Amino acid sequence: MTLLDQHSVHGAPALPADAIPALLAQVPGWQPVDGVIAREFTFRDYRETIAFVNAVAWLAEGENHHPDLTVAYRRCTVACTTHSAGGALSLNDFICAAKIDALYAQRAGA
Ligand SMILES: C[C@H](O)[C@H](O)[C@H]1CNC2=NC(N)=NC(=O)C2=N1
């Protein structure tokens, strides 16, 4: 089963460190930093940036897993971590990262 086929679950545990490399390989472009995976996305204009931010927000609500979003004119940095795992990475973070990548790939005109 791929990450795209899965859903975030409430209270997902922190992943063991040795599980992380294989998951990172499934979300190229995401960088691990201190219990967070993050990726910067770029856009043609502000409208496209904000459309992506809204799509991520809807996805986050549906998954009940909420990444931090840092928004600029034609950029958005998405950072995923799991609060309930004490600020560590859980499978939820990789599921959301994969789904956010799919949103980005499917945006209009991509
Ligand atoms: C009760 C509810 O499941 C939790 O508060 C959810 C909501 N969104 C969340 N988002 C993130 N990033 N981590 C969490 O642990 C988390 N927990």
In angstroms, what CA-CA distances link 100 with 16, 23, 81, 86? 23, 15, 14, 22
- Cα(108) to centroid(ligand 1), Å: 29
Say which CATH topology domain 13-105 has.
Gyrase A; domain 2 (3.30.1360)
Residue-range domain boundaries for the chain: 13-105
Q: Is the ipTM of this complex over 0.90?
A: yes
- Residue 76: enclosing H or E segment and its boundaries? strand 75-80
The answer to whether the CB of 10 is under 6 A from ligand 1 is yes
Task: Please choose, from the candidates 89, 71, 72, the residue with its C-alpha nearest in 3D space to the C-alpha of residue 80.
Answer: 89
Give the confidence band of 108 by pLDDT, cuts at 50, 70, 90.
Answer: confident
d(CA 61, CA 96): 11
Q: Which of 56, 58, 61, 64 to mutate to test the pocket of ligand 1 (most atoms within 8 A of CB)?
A: 64
C-alpha gyration radius of the chain: 13
> At 70, which amino acid appears?
T
84 lines ligand 1 (CB under 6 A): yes
Interval 45-82: pLDDT, tens? 999 999 999 999 999 999 999 999 999 999 999 999 99
Average of per-residue pLDDT values in the chain: 97
